Amino acid sequence: MSVDDLDKHIETLMKCELISEQDVKSLCSKAREILVQEGNVQVIDSPVTVGGQIPDTNYLFLGDFVDRGFYSVETFLLLLALKVRYPDRMMLIRGNHESRQITQV
């Protein structure tokens, strides 16, 4: 998945539009490669800001990404796309809504 593809997916998801199933599979596969290498405890360089320009800013998302309204899938896919695009700047901490017991079907 190229940087241009990721930028296109991020732009699409920011408009609450879905990306194709194949793109979701590719995004999840790439995100998995990144996330399995990260430990459960993250050392995050400060400062961490709530807003700013993504390429120059560190972001920390504190869980409960899903089960919060109509756009759970789009929200989580956007976070995954941002994580893959900026792996060293985006930190995702799983909340109780992302636990295996909550998300199993």
For residue 97, indicate whether it is catalytic.
yes
The total of other beta-carbon atoms located within 10 Å of residue 23's CB is 18
In the chain, which residues have pLDDT < 70?
48-55, 68, 96-105
Using CA atoms, how far apart are residues 32 and 81, in angstroms rounded to an integer?
Answer: 11
pLDDT confidence of residue 35: 84
Report how far residue 52's alpha carbon sits from residue 11's, in angstroms, rounded to the nearest whole number: 17
Main-chain phi, psi angles of 93, to 5 degrees: -105, 120
Q: What is the structure's pLDDT at 88? A: 86
Instruction: Rounding to the nearest 10 degrees, give the CA dihedral for residues 44, 49, 51, 55.
Output: -40
Domains identified in the chain, total number: 1
Under 8 Å CB-to-CB from 80, ≥6 apart: which residues? 27, 28, 31
> Does the predicted TM-score (pTM) go above 0.75?
no
Domain with 97 in it: 3-103
Question: What is the reported pLDDT for 102?
Answer: 54
Q: Give the pLDDT of residue 97.
A: 61
Chain-centre distance for alpha carbon 6 = 12
Give dist(CA 101, CA 105) in Å, integer: 9
Catalytic hit among 35, 61, 97, 98: 97
